[in-house]
Structure 1
C-alpha cells in the first residue's frame, strides 16, 4: 500500500513538472511568438528553383556602345534636374 502511494505521489510530481514545459505567454503574442526570427531566417534562403518571366532583362548593345562613346568623347547627356523640396509656402 505504501509503494502504491509513493507511485501516485511520484506520478503527480512528474505531471506537474511537465506542465512547466508548455508555452503560456499572455496576450496576442502567444500565437506568433518567435515569428520574427523564423521570417528573418527564411528571407536569407535562396529559392532553389526560381521562375522568371524572362531569362535576361532586355538590353541593347547599340545603346550601350553609344553611351560608352559619349563617355569617351566627354559628351555625356546631362540628367534633368529635379527638386524634392518645395519653395516657400509649400507644405502644411
Structure 2
C-alpha cells in the first residue's frame, strides 16, 4: 500500500512540475550573442565616412625615414612620461609580537 501512496503523491506533483517550466525561462534569446558581436566587429564598413579624404603624407619624409632605418641612424623619440610624480607619503603598519 505504500507504493500506491508514493505513486499517488508523484501523480499529484506532476502538474506542479509542469507549471515550473513556464516560470523558468532560459536566456535562449541571447544564445550566441558573443559570437555574433565578434563577427560584426570584424565586418568592414562598406561606406566609411572620413573627416579628410586623404590624410597628409610625404613620400620624401617616408624615404628619408627608410634610409635612416637602413643605415641604423633612426631618430630617437622624445621621452614622454605617462605618469606624474607627486609628493606624498604613506605609512605602513608595523607588526609586533
Q: Same fold (TM over 0.5)?
A: no
TM-score range (shorter-chain normalised) is: 0.3 to 0.5
Task: Tell me the TM-score normalised to structure 2 length.
Answer: 0.41
Task: Tell me the TM-score normalised to structure 1 length.
Answer: 0.42
